[in-house]
Amino acid sequence: MSKRKQWDVFKNKMSRKRMGKKEEKEETEYLTVQRLSASVEGKAQKYTRIGPLTMVPFPHEDKTMENIKHACKDHFEIDKGYQCDVLAGERGPSYTNVNQIKNWKLIHIRFVEKEPELRKSRSSKEKEDHTQAHNLSLPISYVNVPSCSNIAPSSRSVFPQSVPLSQLIKIGKFIPPKKDIVTLQLEAFDVERRSWKDPVEVVLSISVDKFASGACRDAFLAF
């Protein structure tokens, strides 16, 4: 109730008191309500009317959206699992603020189920918690693990023999090769034709160690 209206009510009470008139009981305000179906139907996509127009008592002082919904739920005795939705007409839309209501002569309402998905998720979560609690209450079963002494000798791991330290030291040394690979290009002269033949390349493996020497020359084996 606005301050202006409160002042008018107080002013009327004081005037009646001065004139010696008995104070009249405040009349309860009523809302003209048309109840509609929860969902649209037909090709026109309209909400279907449920029953005739109803005078719903409105005992609250302020006309807010929550007070309108509470008054309608109390009058129609709706279960707590449903919520009241105030509509602009038989085709909607839903009002979200009381300031959107321009025509207070007739108010359209419907009752829809309150958050069914949330209730399903809660019920599934409760089932999971119950299952986990049941699993924790089950006795623990133990599994016999064979000891190492019962393992067959063939399945045991075999380690290689140790390498002497002298051989480990030789591993890091450079071992020079005993043979070299040499590519030679050989040429020949054809006496009959009196011309040089095409050169021929030959790959030879020459031993590093000489097997003979003489006339200021060394001889090596080639394969």
Which CATH number do you get for residue 106? 3.10.20
- Which of 113, 134, 159 is the C-terminal boundary of a domain? 113
Residue 167 lies in a domain: no
Residue 37 lies in a domain: yes
Q: Above pLDDT 90, what percent of the chain?
A: 28
Radius of gyration of the chain (CA): 54
Residues of the chain whose pLDDT is less than 70?
A: 1-6, 16, 20-27, 116-127, 129-159, 170, 172-176
The Cβ-side half-sphere exposure at 169, using a 13 Å CA radius, reads 3
Residue 94 lies in a domain: yes
* Span 98-119, pLDDT tens digits: 999 988 899 999 999 987 655 5
Residue 185 lies in a domain: yes
- Which of 113, 134, 157 is the C-terminal boundary of a domain? 113
Residue 20 lies in a domain: no
* Span 147-177, pLDDT tens digits: 555 555 555 666 677 777 777 776 766 666 7
* Domains contained in the chain, number: 2
Question: Would you state the pLDDT for residue 115?
Answer: 72
Residue 104 lies in a domain: yes
Residue-range definition of the domain harbouring residue 195: 179-222
